[in-house]
Structure 1
Amino acid sequence: MTERTVASTLDTAELPSHFEDAAHLEEFMSLPTQATIDELATLDGDIVVLGVAGKMGITLARMIKRAAPTKRVIGVARFSEEGSQEHLNSFGVETIVCDLLDPDAVAALPRVANVIYMAGLKFDFRGREGFLWAMNTYVPSLVAEHYRESRIVALSTIHVYPWSDSRRGGVTEDNLPLARPGEYANSVVGRERMFQYFSEINNTPGRLVRFVYAIDMRYGVFQEIADWVYNGVPIPLETGNVNVMWQGDAINHFARLLTRCETPSTPINIGGPETVSVRYLAEAFGREFNKEPIFEGSESESSLTVNCDRAAEELGNPLIPISVMVRWVAHWVRSGGDTYGKPSKFQVRTGVF
């Protein structure tokens, strides 16, 4: 392994040509921006991340601890994956094993001033639809009541929105969440409504993060399209455009929203400044691999795309551009890097994942 310099912030980091392994990737992805450091310094109290053991939570908690080393950063999850709790502890993040469906366990959690909520369920709920709704609506109500005197930044999804014509700029926060086909989207509308209800009755400041597709080397739209191109798998085009964001940029924006909570809690679309063509991405990966992409079907007039102008105004645009993400993902796929095996299913149009 070649020696590499560890930057102190994402702003000053020299962008690597590629990532050598998962440790290198996570080290870079958990870099705070200077804006995150400055803004968390103005924030009173400690920070708890609920649902910390997911794909984004571990790098989020690590990044926050790097940005605010004097604050307690507490990660809460079931920690069913062996070693994940110890991994977080090694970065100075405190951990608590907790089943958020247990009201007594939630009531025993330390009350801190700042909460980032990342728990929830999207995939593999068929046959246990009650569990889906409990995780996405009942748990938020327990959390919102327990942390009624805190600030709460709660992760939502762009799946609460209707499909739209991406040529018209995507849907904005002014578009009401729509109960679309599929129980997942409906249940996340319920999640938002629980946080909004308790925010209103308890005067709890918060933000609802309607987040686009995250990009990491190990999962996400880019990884899936790159893998299809590399292995000669036909690429479905009906969902012809996507919104994406580098995970390192995203977690910095999540943390900074703690300083921008509103009462009652309000939604904000978090993502990149542009909508990206699936065909364009496949052709870009084709050039990286010297392979001709195989396409299936044609682009529909509608996609699940959102307008992120409000986030750009409040937080600025992401630092990592599309072209760099393409290069990174191409190298990872070409090198046989590990993946999570959890597809985004961006091409699914039925709402059933």
Structure 2
Amino acid sequence: MLMQTTARPPAPADEKQLEDLLSAPLDGVGTDLAALGGDVVLLGAGGKIGPTMTVMAKRALEAAGSSATVHAVSRWSEKDTRESLEQQGIRTHSAELGDPSAYAGLPDAAGVFYLAAMKFGTTGAEHRMWWTNAAVPALVASRYRGVPTVVYSSGNVYPFTPLAHGGCTEQDAPGPLGEYAQSCLARERVFAGASEQWGTPSLMFRLNYACELRYGVIADIAARIADGRPVDVTMPAVNVVWQRDVSAWALRSVLLADPSAPVLNATGPETIPVRRIASLLGAAMGREVEFTGTEASDALLNDAGDCFARFGYPSLAARTLIEWTARWVGAGGRQLGKATKFEQRQGRY
């Protein structure tokens, strides 16, 4: 008896196809967003994840028959991004979230997604990082008192765990290493304090690592291979997940928001050795891979089992994502130019 197999989806041929795929809603997104009964606001929507997540929200609500408006708020350092969102029916707003006077002009909402953060280039600029990651959340939480809020956070708030332990769960105590991770935990604590103070339903969405073909751990490793640089395996293993799944899970998780400020881990189900990712990429790219460093016995790892139990497993297998990335980077596809620095073990970004 022959076993039936599932055909692998075709890889995106260009950025238009890639962004269309990243913003395509998964089952349940529209129904859950429509259940809020009003408009949604995404703060910090101009970053890496925000644009396609915003479009997914818009497409999902339309498919569900909802007339709710999707609002995207950012400084909009890339004007083309803002124009593209507006062309797709999204209401954009320009605001500096670090300015208390900006909040009076922000739209009301039935649900809020907080994506604003500072990570890259924070070494030497710790004062700006703490302001962005720990002070601005207080302004946001005050403006949107009582509104269900999903707070993008980071798996960096957890300590390193032995590879055999399977990663941290939501029940494990935080153990942030370095000021960036500490500021991420501070962001969570501020929103949790606001939830207690004002009864605001919130959820801390702890993510690592979202990947697409232009950004993420896999793209970082592929770029090193393409440039003939060695791949550092000191950080021995990672969790990775397709960004489309992350956006869908984050949007749906707004219905899990509660004044108790629960936590939800979001990542892929596998603990994948960095050496294995590099070897698969090298084989697909037809390139020799050089390694540097010696694998440590622990890593920054998350267990997202609760997320899978609620929303299902990722829609795209890690092996397929690796193959797509190898093809994209090998062909000279555009990168966003923001390395994840996943190999960093001292918490300095």
- Normalising to structure 1: TM-score of the pair? 0.93
Describe the superposition over 1:83-133 as per-residue Cα deviations: whole angstroms up to 9, x where unpaired: 221111011110010000111212331221100000010011344322111
Residue 232 of structure 1: CA displacement? 2.5
| More divergent stretch after superposition (36-45 vs 336-345) | 36-45
Match of 1:44 among 37, 57, 64: 37
SS at structure 1 position matched to 2:268: coil
- Distance (Å, rounded) in 1 between the aligned partners of 2:176 and 2:211: 26
Matched, 1:62 2:32: no
Describe the superposition over 1:189-243 as per-residue Cα deviations: whole angstroms up to 9, x where unpaired: 1100000000011111111011011111111111111222233311111101001
Give the RMSD, CA atoms, in angstroms.
1.5
Tell me if the contact between 1:113 and 1:149 (Cα under 8 Å) persists in the aligned partners. no
- What corresponds to 1:293 in structure 2? 289
Match of 1:177 among 174, 179, 191: 174
Tell me if the contact between 2:100 and 2:139 (Cα under 8 Å) persists in the aligned partners. yes
- What corresponds to 1:30 in structure 2? 23
Residue 15 of structure 1: CA displacement? 5.6
- Distance (Å, rounded) in 1 between the aligned partners of 2:163 and 2:29: 31
- What corresponds to 1:94 in structure 2? 91
Match of 2:165 among 168, 179, 186: 168
- What corresponds to 1:243 in structure 2? 239
Unaligned runs of 5+ in 1: 1-13
Tell me if the contact between 1:72 and 1:93 (Cα under 8 Å) persists in the aligned partners. yes
SS at structure 1 position matched to 2:51: helix
Match of 1:283 among 279, 286, 293: 279
- What corresponds to 2:192 in structure 1? 196
Match of 1:21 among 10, 14, 17: 14
Describe the superposition over 1:153-204 as per-residue Cα deviations: whole angstroms up to 9, x where unpaired: 0000011110111221111111222242x21111111100000000011111
- Structure 1 residues 97 and 15: CA distance shift in structure 2, 3 A: farther
- Distance (Å, rounded) in 1 between the aligned partners of 2:203 and 2:47: 20
Tell me if the contact between 1:29 and 1:59 (Cα under 8 Å) persists in the aligned partners. yes
- What corresponds to 2:4 in structure 1? none
What is the percentage of aligned positions where both structures have the same residue?
Answer: 37
- Distance (Å, rounded) in 1 between the aligned partners of 2:125 and 2:279: 39
Aligned length: 340
Match of 1:224 among 212, 220, 239: 220
SS at structure 2 position matched to 1:347: coil
- Distance (Å, rounded) in 2 between the aligned partners of 1:313 and 1:18: 28
SS at structure 2 position matched to 1:156: strand
- Distance (Å, rounded) in 2 between the aligned partners of 1:247 and 1:37: 18
- Distance (Å, rounded) in 2 between the aligned partners of 1:94 and 1:125: 31
Query: Which of structure 1's runs of 4+ aligned residues deviate more than 4 A?
Result: none
- What corresponds to 1:145 in structure 2? 142
